[in-house]
Homo-oligomer: A and B are copies of this chain.
């Protein structure tokens, strides 16, 4: 019954975050939480498999960095291929977005001229 969040464009978000700076997984989660203020959350069970997949396809590279405290962070860096992928996914997202809105806008106002 619970509405599953279904991000679906998760890899787009990950790539976009990494386009600004190298980040580690936990950081991406908290960043998104901060930015979106709980309108949705990126779950660990969603994120980590995606990072793996992106690394396997060489869209990102990772390196570990010890933190003074003693823990180790695994940073991810966007590759050139990843940047291209980002462009493509972004475009796909906007197409998708427009398509949905195109259908919705016909809703009750109705019959709009389909020309310019």
Residues on A facing B (Cβ under 8 Å): 3, 6, 8-9, 12-13, 16-17, 19-20, 32, 35-36, 39-40, 90, 92-93, 95-100, 102-104, 106-108, 110
Contact B97 A97 (CB under 8 A): yes
Number of copies: 2
Contact A103 B16 (CB under 8 A): yes
Contact B103 A36 (CB under 8 A): yes
Partner of A100, one of B13, B106, B108: B13
Q: Name, among A104, A107, A110, the residue most crowded by chain B CB atoms within 10 Å (CB to CB).
A: A104
Contact B107 A36 (CB under 8 A): no
* 10 residue pairs, one from A and one from B, having the closest CB atoms: A8-B8, A36-B99, A39-B99, A13-B103, A19-B107, A16-B104, A16-B107, A16-B103, A39-B95, A6-B8
